[in-house]
């Protein structure tokens, strides 16, 4: 079983609900103006874009970018303490208690999707009340990134164990997938050829970001049909 | 009589007289001027400030630096690579020179080896300072992942430090014996303690074993030293980042390390010669020869740099080109071109003339210029590739803050402080080797030269 | 020890065992005591530690139903209600940020009274009694002297229980003045939809089956209509294989909507309605519209009015003034593209044209041109996307206020009303006294049409007592004397009428959380004030009001509580056949089920197509589309002035030079509620990496000419004002134009939002569309120059 995500860029409206929800779900600290302009905004998912051309023939493709959960993660190779690792379900995890903050993995990731806590995450007075109890708070000096909402996977595992069965695709989905109002995100098991995810990938010829680098990412983007941008 | 060792001065008895060379070389140990004290105080203040800056960083987090996303490495990693590079001064040079039996090395080896041993700590120290969680630094041993180039780094640097320390201490032992006999006071007890720990008494048998040990070490140290900076370069080259993922990095970094190492030795030679009045031992020929080596390394450096950048340009890969143009004509152009001038133009201009090589000022200028330029080289390797990540996340620029500069200054000042401390405790020139050279050098050299050519007629040797 | 005997040893062992056991279990356990119940419920694993509740999102006036995740009494997560007809489980970014807004660290903690005059920013914290007394004193005075009509309220919420309560309360003191301002809709859209489709203010777009959305400048995907609904329909439409949705965006700037459009038509800013007119002409000329459709629309062909005057009609005007060649010259769009778009629109199965803009209006007549396209196609083989849903049959809380007392703006008073702020500004420009002695403002979004320095804001300064219900410091508190902070929607029992998407629906919820701070809902505060001033509004608690209103739905024997699409489908069939199954439960049970599922919906709406009895384009009174329909304009002004045409901002003289201004909306910052949302402020414009403060965009050629760079500052000046903003250089801006972010009410005093000072709205002060008074700004010219660093 390998968890993967398909994002239909033809359906994505760029609303940013996934960004806001991920922040709330995973206790990612917010940035104020100074942090934002210093390039220190922590985002586990964000809207990135590729633009080409000039005004007369400009094409811009904007897409949500989060950890691509590579099958051959460059970040896992270089971590000196094995604080980032790929588990048997294909999710690249991060052990906050072990990370020494050397930031080698953030530099090895070609997608630049790993973020670092430059200081102790600040929670303005009263806002700590909205922290979700399911996700641990990270201290200063460690790296963090999208985990495909692994806390939801844990909960789902416990739930299906109580039901006496194994975890299957469709038993859980990350917060971003759940909240997307356009229904542009699909989550599931890449190894199951009958899953809607695998069929989407097949029918619509999804592409992966920078797949010539050999990282084998598991976030697949579908171009809008008709070929524009 | 007492159970005193042969040649050892019993406690309380007067010290043995020094030879002419010992007097000159041990002088810095026995006398300390006010200039030295003032300098030491100044350096100590800088080091204390740097300590404060580090504590500031520990309490406030790495946010006090100018680092940001995606430029996650900056001054600290530059320092790390730079200091490890400088460490190639001693061990490599003295090992190569010993191996090639260059007689002029005798005055130079000790001061070079000390640089190595001391500066490695600052290289490794900068990595620890750079960690987000310095308190977890020992996890690299507990949870070691040997697939990571950083782990290779740790292994090779540890081995290098061990080997260099051995390689420094071994040739120091005969000098320690002399020191113990001829220098008293608290220093005497230090020497005695060290000698007792090693059990070295400078008997002929021990001396013979020592020289064999040095012979083994000087061979061993070479591959270790080369591996160290190669492995440091692989921290970058093993990633897939544009302009990092380059096969030339291994040789490039080693050549650069030797380059900056020689420059460091030269700087120290000029300064120590003046400060400790060692003109008789550090003669123009030393500067000339090392200057020639530096010249050769300048040309090597130019060759590697040119090859690296030309292949990138010609290849035309868009992400790499972005980094390349940022370095050559973009936001890092100033650092890049100053680097070229200080690493090549200035040293070449000075060192290609014998007069330049033999003048103290010329050597000083050239060596300082090279070290400054090599620092910039490390910086322009680390930062532009990160700033031009494949996926740009921000328009913000990395600008080092006072914390980072303070820690750099503190590394330099602490290193100098430790070095100066060394010179006050141990001779900065290897006395026994100098005296050995003066005594046996000409004969051995003549004998060796004779084996190069066919034997003279009538000498009785077989052709 | 060798003296021990076995007996002693056994005793020692036994004693230790007993002691050990006692120590482990505890004496109370041995004595039969039971564990303390309170200690188990304090456990984090307790069954009641986590619960789910339903609520209505307060981020904008659309009224999405949301699910709250509450852990130990704290709100820690928000999802869409899968049964909500708008979002069906999805949320827009603003909705997702409601958790953040709920715990806004700069929320107002309790009633405030201003210390000193309005220029100072000092407040005193007072008790509710004191705050209410401050207001009720004045109110009592007005009531006593029979001048109760001099009280007004301007709300940012959609129509619903809160608005109804305020209306009824103010009616009890004799004031009809309750107005709603919708931050997500173009104020001029309503009147021209009235003219075009016979709709009153309540009209929506049903995008379920549309296969072509032709957007003439509308930021369709950025904070328009109901962002969650539009995103859902857009996503569905794009993922269909048959009749797949195409989006054509006509705009001068590469907005996030244009990025995702199938086609981006680059036109000169402000000229989008011209394209609509040219396209209409092509549709008519090329016979892409049925003759019957043409006949049904009054005013296309030349016609005679009752007085016998011959009116030119629209068709000849389209032919000679808006031919593709002429329009191509004005708009910069090639003729082939105009023809192609028109044909595309004419042959699509179910196209819709939208022209509403949230950053300044295209002007009423421009919108008329856009609706003309819709009207032409709606009678011609297309189901139609502009829908005019029926009125929601909630029980009215009080008689609706008489029209005569309202601030009205003839000449089209009977179908539409000028934006209220424009009307208030009219008082100022005409030198009249302000109509109010007390004005209630719900929050900063209610003031989104007010700009510092314009007549409305000057008039606001003259109103003696301004009361704000905002929960965070924003534009309304800056103008207010007393702040009576409102609770969050999640803390209220409320209902909100939904009109986006053509639904006939009401979102309703009980309070999900107890009030976090010392705040109270306006639905309670205003009636309380009225009571203290001596009148009895006859209103109960919030929940009573909601139940009362929802009772009307039961008595109308319509609709159902929110349900799954399957359930909605078969309930609709049942209703069509005349069966209404909820009749089997009591009214109370029905209302409970509505509250438990998040709301009520009539599953038959939006109705597909229009029945012959109610043709699109002709309302119940028989008025047709194209003005000057007979009843409306008696003055006999020139025909052309009243036909759909392009209103440019050329009304302002003296600005013939300079760059064209393109104000654009920042979608996530439009809406209501607290502006202090760091997640949204960081999301303002990912593609140019801007956020937290307004910015302008220039094409690289213009930037080079002016000598400015990305990140530098520019000063943009019109004759109405100037702004200094930071600059982003991007290829997405048409050369010769400058784009300027527009998000009124996005700024506040909160730690995150404090840098959001005015954007483009300041430059557009004073430019209003002639017919509706909505602010227009597209196409006006401004001066742009570099602003040296260090200047304020």
* Cβ pair C71:A133 closer than 8 A: yes
Q: Give the span between the Cα atoms of A19 and C92, in whole angstroms.
A: 10
Mean pLDDT across B186-198: 89
Q: Does A46 touch chain C (CB under 8 A)?
A: yes
Candidates A85, A11, A15, A16; CA nearest to A46 is A16
Say what the pLDDT of residue C524 is.
Answer: 94
Q: Nearest Cβ partner of A181 from C91, C105, C691?
A: C91
Mean pLDDT across C387-391: 76
pLDDT tens string C147-183: 888 999 999 888 899 999 999 999 889 888 888 888 7
Residue C689 Cα, gap to closest chain B Cα (Å): 7
**Number of helices (H), then strands (E), in chain A:** 7, 10
Q: Give the span between the Cα atoms of C590 and C587, in whole angstroms.
A: 5
Q: Does A122 touch chain C (CB under 8 A)?
A: no
Say what the pLDDT of residue C410 is.
Answer: 36
Q: Give the span between the Cα atoms of C764 and B9, in whole angstroms.
A: 97
* Cβ pair B394:C710 closer than 8 A: no
* pLDDT at position C407 over 70: no
Chain B adjacent subunits, 3+ CB pairs under 8 A: A, C
Mean pLDDT across A122-148: 93
Q: Does A225 touch chain C (CB under 8 A)?
A: yes
Chain A interface disruption, residue of B69, B242, B404, most A CBs within 10 A: B69
Going from N- to C-terminal start, the domains of chain B cover: 50-437
Rounded to two decimals, the pTM is 0.89
C290 CB-contact burial (10 Å; exposed 0-12 / middle 13-18 / buried 19+): middle
Residue B440 tokens, joined: 């046996």
Taking contacts as CB-CB distances below 8 angstroms, the residues of chain B near A112 are 69-70, 389-391, 393
Chain B interface disruption, residue of C689, C690, C692, C729, most B CBs within 10 A: C689
Candidates A187, A183, A47; CA nearest to C87 is A183
* pLDDT at position C125 over 50: yes
Say what the pLDDT of residue C43 is.
Answer: 40
Mean pLDDT across C545-565: 93
Q: Give the span between the Cα atoms of A224 and A184, in whole angstroms.
A: 11
- The model's confidence at residue C389, banded by pLDDT at 50, 70 and 90, is confident
Q: What is the ipTM of this complex?
A: 0.95
Say what the pLDDT of residue B7 is.
Answer: 46
Say what the pLDDT of residue C382 is.
Answer: 66
SS3 of C616-681: the string is CCCCCCCCCCCCCCCCCCCCCCCHHHHCCCCCCCCCCCCCCCCEEEEEEECHHHCCCCCCCCHHHH
Neighbours of B318 (CB within 10 A): 8
Q: Does C294 touch chain B (CB under 8 A)?
A: no
Q: Average model confidence (pLDDT) for chain B?
A: 90
Is C248 within 8 Å of C279 (Cβ atoms)?
no
Residue B251 Cα, gap to closest chain A Cα (Å): 21
Say what the pLDDT of residue C28 is.
Answer: 43
Residue C473 tokens, joined: 């410091």
Say what the pLDDT of residue C105 is.
Answer: 93
Taking contacts as CB-CB distances below 8 angstroms, the residues of chain A near B67 are 118
* pLDDT at position C737 over 60: yes
* Cβ pair B144:A79 closer than 8 A: no
Mean pLDDT across C697-707: 94
Taking contacts as CB-CB distances below 8 angstroms, the residues of chain A near B391 are 48, 65, 110-112
- The model's confidence at residue C33, banded by pLDDT at 50, 70 and 90, is very low
DSSP C437: S
Residue A128 tokens, joined: 């700590």
Weakest mean pLDDT among B41-45, C324-328, C662-666: C662-666
* CATH class of the domain at A3-222: alpha beta
Candidates B217, B238, B267, B224; CA nearest to B374 is B267
Residues contacting B32, CB < 8 A, separation 6+: B424
Say what the pLDDT of residue B370 is.
Answer: 96
Residue A127 tokens, joined: 């806002």
Strand C263-266 to C246-251 pairing: parallel
Say what the pLDDT of residue B462 is.
Answer: 56
Q: Give the span between the Cα atoms of A172 and A219, in whole angstroms.
A: 17
Weakest mean pLDDT among B232-246, C107-121, C249-263, C411-425: C411-425
Say what the pLDDT of residue C699 is.
Answer: 95
Q: Does C687 touch chain B (CB under 8 A)?
A: no
Taking contacts as CB-CB distances below 8 angstroms, the residues of chain B near A68 are none
Chain B to chain C, count of Cβ pairs less than 8 Å apart?
4
Say what the pLDDT of residue C45 is.
Answer: 54
Q: Give the span between the Cα atoms of C44 and C50, in whole angstroms.
A: 9
Helices (H), B131-148: 139-142
Say what the pLDDT of residue B90 is.
Answer: 82
- The model's confidence at residue A72, banded by pLDDT at 50, 70 and 90, is very high
* pLDDT at position C36 over 70: no
User: Which whole-number Å values give the CA distances from C765 to C599, C652, C665, C681, in the listed order?
Assistant: 40, 11, 16, 24
pLDDT tens string C195-211: 555 555 567 788 998 99
C147 CB-contact burial (10 Å; exposed 0-12 / middle 13-18 / buried 19+): middle
* Cβ pair C686:A46 closer than 8 A: yes
Going from N- to C-terminal start, the domains of chain A cover: 3-222
Give the SS3 label for residue B273: helix
Residue showing tokens 């229904």: A183
Residue showing tokens 């051959």: A72
* Cβ pair A54:C731 closer than 8 A: yes
- The model's confidence at residue C472, banded by pLDDT at 50, 70 and 90, is very high
Residues C366, C406 within the same domain:
no
Comparing alpha-carbon positions, the chain B residue that sits nearest to C729 is: B395
Q: Give the span between the Cα atoms of B422 and A196, in whole angstroms.
A: 71
Give the CA angle between residues C288, C292, C298 to the nearest 5°: 100
- The model's confidence at residue C441, banded by pLDDT at 50, 70 and 90, is very high
DSSP C63: -
Residue C653 placed within a domain = no
Q: Does C711 touch chain B (CB under 8 A)?
A: yes
Q: Average model confidence (pLDDT) for chain A?
A: 92
* Cβ pair A183:C93 closer than 8 A: no
pLDDT tens string C52-68: 999 999 999 899 999 99
Residue A184 Cα, gap to closest chain C Cα (Å): 6
Say what the pLDDT of residue A98 is.
Answer: 95
- The model's confidence at residue C17, banded by pLDDT at 50, 70 and 90, is low
**Which H or E element spans position C258?**
helix C256-260
- The model's confidence at residue C641, banded by pLDDT at 50, 70 and 90, is low
Say what the pLDDT of residue A214 is.
Answer: 92
Mean pLDDT across C342-357: 90
Mean pLDDT across C372-383: 73
How many domains does chain C divide into?
Answer: 4
Chain A interface disruption, residue of C260, C268, C337, C669, most A CBs within 10 A: C260
Residues C626, C708 within the same domain:
no
Say what the pLDDT of residue C32 is.
Answer: 42
pLDDT tens string A31-46: 999 999 998 999 999 9
- What backbone torsions phi and psi does residue C698 show, to the nearest 5 degrees? -130, 150
Chain C interface disruption, residue of A30, A125, A182, most C CBs within 10 A: A182
Residue C673 Cα, gap to closest chain B Cα (Å): 29
* pLDDT at position B348 over 90: yes
Mean pLDDT across C640-664: 65
Q: Nearest Cβ partner of C93 from A15, A55, A228?
A: A15
Residue C687 placed within a domain = yes
Is C337 within 8 Å of C162 (Cβ atoms)?
no
With a pLDDT cut of 70, the percent of chain B lying above it is: 95
Taking contacts as CB-CB distances below 8 angstroms, the residues of chain C near B394 are 689
Comparing alpha-carbon positions, the chain B residue that sits nearest to C728 is: B395
Residue A7 tokens, joined: 């994002």
Q: Give the span between the Cα atoms of B269 and B283, in whole angstroms.
A: 10
Say what the pLDDT of residue A168 is.
Answer: 85
Taking contacts as CB-CB distances below 8 angstroms, the residues of chain A near B393 are 39, 46, 48, 112
Half-sphere exposure at residue C61, Cβ-oriented, CA atoms within 13 angstroms: 26
Q: Nearest Cβ partner of C679 from A20, A54, A133?
A: A20
* Cβ pair C711:B395 closer than 8 A: yes
In which domain, by residue range, is C678 found?
Answer: 659-787
Q: Does C240 touch chain B (CB under 8 A)?
A: no
Among candidate residues C60, C75, C102, the one where a domain is terminated: C102
Chain A adjacent subunits, 3+ CB pairs under 8 A: B, C
Q: Does A203 touch chain C (CB under 8 A)?
A: no
Strand A3-8 to A219-222 pairing: parallel
- The model's confidence at residue C654, banded by pLDDT at 50, 70 and 90, is very low
Taking contacts as CB-CB distances below 8 angstroms, the residues of chain B near A77 are 147-148, 238
Residue C628, preceding bond cis, omega within 30 degrees? yes
Weakest mean pLDDT among C19-33, C57-71, C354-368, C536-550: C19-33
Say what the pLDDT of residue C30 is.
Answer: 44
Is C60 within 8 Å of C671 (Cβ atoms)?
yes
Candidates C281, C414, C314, C382; CA nearest to C616 is C382
Residue showing tokens 């502009």: C386
Say what the pLDDT of residue B408 is.
Answer: 97
Residue C682, preceding bond cis, omega within 30 degrees? no
Assigned superfamily of B50-437: Formate dehydrogenase/DMSO reductase domain (1.20.1630.10)
Q: Does A159 touch chain C (CB under 8 A)?
A: no
Residue C10 Cα, gap to closest chain A Cα (Å): 48
- What backbone torsions phi and psi does residue B295 show, to the nearest 5 degrees? -60, -45
* Cβ pair B394:C711 closer than 8 A: no
Say what the pLDDT of residue C6 is.
Answer: 65
Between these two residues, C16 and C236, which has the higher pLDDT value?
A: C236
pLDDT tens string B95-119: 888 888 888 888 899 999 999 999 9
CATH number at residue C724: 2.40.40.20
Say what the pLDDT of residue B230 is.
Answer: 95
């Amino acid at each position: 079983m390998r968890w993967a995500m398909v994002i239909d860029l033809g359906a994505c409206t760029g609303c940013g609900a996934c960004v806001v929800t991920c922040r709330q779900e995973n206790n990612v600290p917010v940035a104020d103006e100074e942090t934002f302009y210093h390039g220190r905004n922590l985002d586990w998912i964000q809207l990135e874009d590729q633009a080409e051309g000039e005004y007369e023939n400009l094409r811009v493709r904007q897409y949500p970018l989060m950890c691509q959960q590579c099958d051959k993660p460059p970040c896992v190779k270089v971590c000196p303490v094995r604080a980032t690792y790929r588990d048997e379900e294909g999710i690249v995890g991060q052990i906050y208690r072990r990370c020494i903050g050397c930031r080698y993995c953030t530099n090895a990731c070609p997608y630049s999707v790993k973020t670092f806590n430059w200081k102790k995450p600040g929670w303005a007075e009263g806002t700590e009340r909205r922290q979700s109890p399911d996700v641990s708070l990270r201290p200063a000096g460690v790296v963090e990134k999208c985990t495909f909402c692994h806390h939801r996977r844990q909960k789902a595992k416990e739930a299906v164990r109580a039901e006496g069965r194994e975890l299957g695709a469709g038993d859980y989905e990350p917060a971003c997938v759940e909240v997307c109002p356009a229904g542009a995100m699909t989550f599931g098991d890449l190894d199951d050829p009958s899953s809607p995810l695998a069929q989407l990938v097949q029918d619509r010829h999804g592409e992966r970001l920078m797949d010539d680098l050999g990282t084998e990412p598991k976030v697949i983007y579908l171009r809008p049909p008709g070929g524009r941008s | 009589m007492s159970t005193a060792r042969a040649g050892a001065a019993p406690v309380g008895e007067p010290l043995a007289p020094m030879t002419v060379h010992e007097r000159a070389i041990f002088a810095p140990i026995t006398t300390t001027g006010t200039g030295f004290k003032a300098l030491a105080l100044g350096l100590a203040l800088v080091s204390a400030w740097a300590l404060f800056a580090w504590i500031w960083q520990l309490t406030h987090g790495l946010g006090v630096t100018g680092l940001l996303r995606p430029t996650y490495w900056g001054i600290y990693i530059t320092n790390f690579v730079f200091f490890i590079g400088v460490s190639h001064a001693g061990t490599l040079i003295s090992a190569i020179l010993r191996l090639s039996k260059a007689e002029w090395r005798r005055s130079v080896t000790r001061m070079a080896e000390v640089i190595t041993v001391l500066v490695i700590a600052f290289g490794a120290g900068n990595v620890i300072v750079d960690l987000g969680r310095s308190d977890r630094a020992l996890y690299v041993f507990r949870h070691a992942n040997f697939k990571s180039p950083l782990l290779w780094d740790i292994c090779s640097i540890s081995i290098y430090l061990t080997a260099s320390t051995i390689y420094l201490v071994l040739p120091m032992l005969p000098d320690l014996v002399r020191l113990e006999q001829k220098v008293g006071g608290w220093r005497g007890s230090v020497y005695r303690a060290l000698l007792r720990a090693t059990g070295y008494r400078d008997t002929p048998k021990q001396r013979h074993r020592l020289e064999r040990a040095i012979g083994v070490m000087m061979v061993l140290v070479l591959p270790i030293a080369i591996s160290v900076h190669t492995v440091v370069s692989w921290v970058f080259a093993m990633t897939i980042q544009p302009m990092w993922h380059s096969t030339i990095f291994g040789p490039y970094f080693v050549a650069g390390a030797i380059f900056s190492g020689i420059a460091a030795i030269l700087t120290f030679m000029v300064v120590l010669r003046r400060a400790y009045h060692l003109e008789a031992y550090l003669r123009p020929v030393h500067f000339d020869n090392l200057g020639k080596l530096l010249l050769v390394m300048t040309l090597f450096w130019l060759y590697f740099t040119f090859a690296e950048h030309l292949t990138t340009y010609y290849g035309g890969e868009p992400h790499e080109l972005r980094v390349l143009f940022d370095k050559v004509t973009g936001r890092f152009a100033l650092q890049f071109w100053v680097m070229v001038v200080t690493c090549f133009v200035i040293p070449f201009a000075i060192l290609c003339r014998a007069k330049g090589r033999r003048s103290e000022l010329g050597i000083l200028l050239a060596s300082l210029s090279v070290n400054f330029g090599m620092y910039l080289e490390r910086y322009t390797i680390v930062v532009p590739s990160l700033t031009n990540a494949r996926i740009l996340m921000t328009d913000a620029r990395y600008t080092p803050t006072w914390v980072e500069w303070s820690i750099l200054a503190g590394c330099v000042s602490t290193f100098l402080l430790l070095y100066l401390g060394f010179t006050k405790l141990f001779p900065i020139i290897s006395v026994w080797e100098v005296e050995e050279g003066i005594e046996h050098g000409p004969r051995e050299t003549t004998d060796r030269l004779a084996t190069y050519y066919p034997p003279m007629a009538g000498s009785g040797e077989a052709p | 020890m060798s003296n021990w005997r076995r007996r002693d040893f056994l005793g020692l062992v036994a004693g230790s065992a007993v002691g050990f056991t006692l120590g482990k279990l505890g004496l109370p356990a041995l004595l039969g005591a039971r564990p303390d119940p309170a200690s188990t419920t304090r456990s984090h694993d307790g069954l009641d530690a986590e619960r789910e509740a339903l609520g209505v999102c307060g981020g904008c006036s659309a009224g999405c139903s949301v699910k709250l995740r509450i852990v130990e009494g704290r709100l820690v997560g928000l999802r869409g209600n899968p049964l909500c007809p708008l979002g069906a489980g999805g949320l827009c970014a603003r909705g997702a940020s409601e958790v953040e807004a709920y715990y806004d660290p700069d929320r107002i903690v309790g009633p405030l009274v201003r210390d000193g005059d309005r220029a100072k920013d000092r407040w005193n914290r007072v008790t509710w009694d004191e705050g209410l007394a401050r207001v009720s004193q004045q109110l009592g005075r007005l009531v006593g002297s029979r001048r109760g009509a001099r009280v007004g309220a301007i709300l940012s919420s959609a129509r619903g229980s809160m608005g109804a309560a305020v209306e009824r309360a103010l009616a009890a003191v004799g004031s009809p003045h309750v107005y709603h301002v919708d931050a997500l809709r173009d104020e001029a859209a309503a009147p021209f939809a009235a003219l075009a489709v016979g709709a009153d203010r309540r009209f929506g777009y049903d995008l379920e089956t549309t296969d072509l959305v032709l957007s003439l400048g509308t930021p369709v995907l950025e904070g328009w209509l109901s962002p969650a609904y539009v995103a859902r329909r857009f996503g569905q439409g794009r993922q269909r294989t048959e009749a797949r949705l195409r989006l054509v965006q006509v705009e001068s700037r590469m907005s996030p909507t244009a990025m995702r459009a199938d086609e981006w038509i680059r036109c000169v800013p402000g000229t989008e309605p011209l394209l609509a007119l040219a396209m209409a002409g092509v549709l008519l000329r090329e016979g892409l519209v049925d003759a019957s459709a043409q006949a049904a629309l009054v005013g296309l062909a030349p016609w005679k009015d009752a007085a016998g005057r011959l009116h030119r009609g629209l068709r000849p005007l389209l032919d000679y003034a808006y031919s593709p060649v002429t329009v191509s010259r004005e708009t910069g769009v090639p003729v082939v593209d105009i023809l192609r778009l028109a044909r595309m629109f004419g042959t699509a199965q179910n196209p819709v044209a939208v022209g509403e803009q949230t950053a300044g209006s295209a002007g009423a007549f421009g919108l008329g041109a856009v609706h003309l396209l819709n009207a032409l196609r709606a009678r011609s083989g297309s189901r139609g996307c502009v829908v005019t849903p029926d009125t929601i049959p909630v029980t009215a809380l009080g008689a609706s206020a008489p029209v005569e007392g309202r601030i009205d703006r003839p000449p089209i008073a009977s179908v539409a009303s000028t934006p209220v702020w424009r009307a208030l500004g009219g008082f100022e420009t005409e030198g009249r006294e302000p109509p109010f002695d007390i004005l209630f403002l719900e929050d900063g979004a209610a003031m989104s049409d007010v700009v510092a320095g314009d007549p409305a804001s000057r008039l606001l300064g003259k109103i003696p007592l301004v009361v704000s219900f905002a929960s965070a410091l924003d534009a309304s508190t800056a103008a207010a004397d007393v702040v009576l902070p409102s609770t969050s929607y999640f803390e209220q029992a409320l209902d909100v009428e939904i009109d986006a998407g053509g639904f006939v629906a009401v979102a309703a919820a009980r309070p999900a959380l107890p009030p976090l701070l010392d705040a109270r809902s306006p639905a309670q505060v205003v009636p309380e004030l009225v009571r203290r001033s001596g009148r009895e509004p006859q209103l109960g608690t919030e929940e009573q009001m909601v139940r009362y209103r929802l009772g009307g739905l039961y008595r109308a024997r319509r609709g159902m509580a929110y349900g799954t699409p399957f359930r909605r489908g078969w309930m609709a069939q049942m209703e069509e056949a005349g069966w209404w199954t909820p009749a089997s439960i009591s009214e109370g049970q029905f209302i409970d089920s509505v509250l438990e599922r998040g709301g009520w919906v009539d599953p038959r709406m939006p109705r597909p197509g229009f029945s012959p009895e109610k043709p699109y384009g002709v309302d119940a009174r028989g008025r047709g589309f194209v003005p000057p329909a007979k009843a409306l304009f008696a003055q006999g002004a020139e025909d052309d002035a009243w036909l759909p045409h392009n209103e440019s901002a050329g009304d302002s003289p003296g600005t013939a030079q300079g760059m064209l201004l393109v104000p654009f909306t920042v979608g996530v910052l439009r809406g209501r509620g607290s502006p202090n949302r760091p997640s949204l402020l960081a999301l303002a414009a990912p593609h140019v990496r801007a956020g937290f403060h307004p910015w302008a965009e220039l094409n690289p050629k213009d930037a080079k000419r002016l000598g400015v760079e990305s990140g530098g500052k520019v000063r943009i000046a019109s004759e109405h004002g100037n702004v200094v903003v930071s600059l982003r250089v991007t290829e997405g801006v048409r050369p010769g134009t400058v784009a300027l972010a527009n998000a009124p009410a996005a700024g506040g005093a909160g730690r995150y939002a404090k840098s959001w000072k005015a954007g483009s709205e300041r430059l557009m002060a004073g430019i209003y569309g002639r017919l509706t008074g909505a602010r227009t700004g597209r196409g006006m010219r401004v001066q742009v120059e570099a602003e040296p660093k260090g200047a304020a």
